[in-house]
């Protein structure tokens, strides 16, 4: 894939590098805000986390869950009505790394951040059908 421009955002390198999935600590209510920006809905300062994302070579962030907000809100309300405490699925994000990024270093640095609950590399191998 060649260099691309997505919408009015800055030009980024190709998106064929490693991919990580990360779950941010739910209490922070971290949400994507642009190609690589993150924001906390409770006002937490994420500047140190964003600096790490830049250092490890993140070129794009994207929410992992793409269900319409109204549908997700309805599902959460239904679960709470049954007495369940559903997880904040919007805390999960996918991070695209630059092609030459060091995946192990990225996982190590992100795992060390207090804002991050889980982080792992996404396998590019597609399993065979059953």
Summarize pLDDT for 91-126 with one digit per residue, the tens.
999 999 999 999 999 999 999 999 999 999 998 777
Span 25-37, mean pLDDT? Answer: 85
Contact predicate 61/47, CB 8 Å:
no
The continuous run of DSSP H or E covering 115 comes out as: none
Residue 93: strand pairing partners: 22, 63
Say if 86 falls within a structural domain. yes
CA–CA separation, 78 and 86 (whole Å): 10
- The structure's pTM equals 0.77
3-state secondary structure of 121: strand
User: Considering its fold, how many domains does the chain have in total?
Assistant: 1
CA–CA separation, 118 and 106 (whole Å): 12
CATH number at residue 59: 3.30.70
Say if 128 falls within a structural domain. no
3-state secondary structure of 104: helix
Among residues 16, 31, 22, 30, which one has the least CA distance to residue 120? 22
Say if 96 falls within a structural domain. yes
Its domain, for residue 55, covers 19-121
Say if 89 falls within a structural domain. yes
């Amino acid at each position: 894939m060649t260099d691309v421009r997505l919408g009015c955002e800055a030009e980024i390198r190709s998106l064929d590098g490693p991919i990580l999935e990360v779950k941010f600590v739910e209490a922070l209510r971290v949400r994507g805000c642009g190609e690589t920006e993150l924001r906390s809905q409770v006002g937490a300062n994420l500047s140190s986390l964003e600096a790490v994302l830049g250092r490890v070579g993140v070129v794009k962030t994207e929410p992992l869950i793409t269900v319409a907000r109204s549908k997700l809100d309805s599902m959460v309300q239904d679960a709470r009505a049954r007495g369940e405490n559903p997880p904040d699925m919007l805390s999960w994000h996918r991070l695209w790394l630059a092609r030459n990024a060091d995946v192990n270093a990225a996982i190590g640095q992100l795992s060390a951040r207090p804002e991050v609950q889980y982080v792992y590399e996404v396998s590019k191998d597609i399993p065979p059908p059953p």
